[in-house]
């Protein structure tokens, strides 16, 4: 049987009828060439379920090496934190010895600020502030608002009593006499300031200084910083002629002090004894504070027809005033060289 080659030729058009139909089953043929179907985006609920399953999965078990490294890192962090905290640590208010704070307050009858007390006791200001408010709550200290930093005073008329002396055997040396209160002790020479005539207390000084080429007499509180005593804001400086009026009025001031102390001159507050300048703004007054007689040298201001005490000035208990009287001659000598 011979087939003629011409019978194999097909010059008709392809109409697809002779191709087998696809029955829906996948085959391996041409799989790599088939276009990839786009993935269907997950719904919000599906994403939340997947996240919940991930969170609920148990944590991986740490190996010994991982646990050791984690422990070392934690220990190093804690050590660093402790070291840093220790370097910046300051005494809390509970660290302040309130008995020492009360003694310091009693040394300044006209009051002290928290900053001054912190400098005196070598403590943190915030710690001293907290202790002062605790003493106020306990009724042991009181606060006076003066427009600036509040002034604190002890509610005790005198410093806390010293403990009773201990019996000393006869073979032991006799005890030495008790030292006088700090307010009557002049500071050592190393604490003296330029132009100092005398120390009225550890902080209050009577000084003859110079300002713009002219001498003056200063009654002022000083504070210690970096081993040096510097003048503070509390105090007043008198021109030579104002000091002369004060010196000439010493006898009258002493008479008023005696009358107030024995009750023969009743009064409710500081009363003017002498005016130191023509308009009467600078005055010497005598009054009482917590049953203690006080002498004030202060600048006053007029408001609504009344003269009120200002910030410039100083108040002295009688023993400090007596030191001013005692050294008046030395003040005159220092001014005489002007």
Least confident range of 127-131, 197-201, 324-328: 127-131
pLDDT at 170 over 80: no
For CA atoms 326, 332, 337, 338, give the dihedral sign: positive
> pLDDT tens across 204-215, in order?
999 999 888 899
Looking at residue 337, its pLDDT comes to 53
Rounded CA Rg of the chain: 45
> Of 90-99, 155-164, 271-280, which has the strongest mean pLDDT?
271-280
93-to-90, 128, 154 alpha-carbon distances in Å: 10, 6, 18
User: How much is the average pLDDT of 249-256?
Assistant: 93
Residue 251: which residues within 8 A CB-CB, separation 6 or more? none
For CA atoms 48, 49, 52, 57, give the dihedral sign: negative
Global pTM?
Answer: 0.46
Burial of 141 (0-12, 13-18, 19+ CB in 10 A): buried
Here the tokens at position 268 are 């409710």
CA distance 85 to 90: 9
Average pLDDT, the chain: 74
Here the tokens at position 81 are 């934190």
Looking at residue 61, its pLDDT comes to 54
User: How much is the average pLDDT of 102-130?
Assistant: 82
CB contact burial 143-172 (16+ within 10 A = b; e otherwise):
eeeeeeeebbbbeeeebeeeeeeeeeeeee
Say which residue, 26 or 95, is predicted with more confidence.
Answer: 95
Q: Phi, psi (5° rounding) for residue 105?
A: -65, -40
User: How much is the average pLDDT of 271-296?
Assistant: 90
Determine if residue 182 is left, alpha or beta; phi over 0 gives left, psi from -120 to 50 gives alpha, anything else beta: alpha
Q: Phi, psi (5° rounding) for residue 156?
A: -90, 135
Looking at residue 244, its pLDDT comes to 94
Residues 79, 82, 87: CA angle, nearest 5 degrees: 125
Q: For tokens 């040394």, what's the residue? A: 107
HSE (side-chain half, CA atoms, 13 Å) at 32: 0
> pLDDT tens across 55-103, in order?
556 655 545 555 555 555 555 554 544 444 444 444 444 577 888 878 8
Looking at residue 30, its pLDDT comes to 46
User: How much is the average pLDDT of 114-142?
Assistant: 83
For CA atoms 253, 255, 256, 262, give the dihedral sign: positive
Say which residue, 97 or 249, is predicted with more confidence.
Answer: 249
CA distance 298 to 295: 10
- Strand order of the β-sheet with 271-275 is 196-199, 204-211, 214-225, 228-238, 306-317, 292-303, 282-289, 271-275
């Amino acid at each position: 049987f011979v087939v003629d080659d011409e019978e194999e030729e097909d010059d008709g058009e392809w109409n697809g009828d002779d191709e087998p139909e696809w029955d829906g089953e996948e085959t391996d043929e041409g799989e790599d060439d088939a276009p990839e179907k786009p993935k269907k985006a997950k719904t919000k609920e599906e994403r939340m379920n997947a996240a919940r399953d991930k969170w609920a999965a148990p944590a991986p078990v740490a190996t010994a090496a991982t646990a050791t490294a984690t422990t070392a890192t934690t220990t190093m962090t804690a050590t660093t934190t402790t070291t840093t905290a220790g370097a910046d640590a300051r005494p809390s208010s509970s660290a302040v010895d309130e008995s020492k704070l009360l003694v310091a307050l009693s040394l300044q009858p006209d009051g002290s600020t928290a900053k001054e007390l912190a400098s005196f006791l070598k403590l943190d200001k915030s710690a001293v502030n907290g202790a002062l408010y605790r003493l106020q709550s306990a009724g042991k200290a009181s606060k006076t608002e003066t427009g600036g930093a509040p002034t604190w005073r002890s509610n005790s008329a005198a410093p806390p009593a010293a403990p009773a002396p201990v019996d000393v055997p006869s073979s032991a040396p006799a005890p030495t006499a008790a030292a006088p209160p700090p307010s009557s002790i002049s500071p050592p020479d190393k604490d003296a300031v330029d132009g100092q005539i005398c120390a009225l207390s550890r902080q209050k000084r009577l000084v003859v200084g110079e300002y713009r080429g002219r001498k003056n007499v200063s009654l002022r509180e000083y504070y210690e910083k970096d081993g040096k005593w510097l003048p503070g804001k509390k105090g007043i400086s008198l021109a030579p002629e104002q000091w002369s009026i004060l010196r000439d009025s010493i006898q009258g001031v002493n008479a008023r002090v005696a009358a107030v102390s024995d009750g023969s001159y009743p009064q409710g507050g500081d009363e003017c004894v002498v005016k130191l300048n023509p308009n009467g703004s600078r005055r010497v007054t005598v009054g009482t504070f917590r049953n203690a007689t006080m002498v004030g040298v202060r600048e006053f201001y007029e408001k609504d027809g009344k003269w009120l005490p200002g910030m410039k000035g100083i108040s002295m208990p009688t023993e400090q005033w007596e030191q001013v009287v005692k050294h008046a001659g030395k003040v005159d000598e220092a001014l005489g060289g002007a």
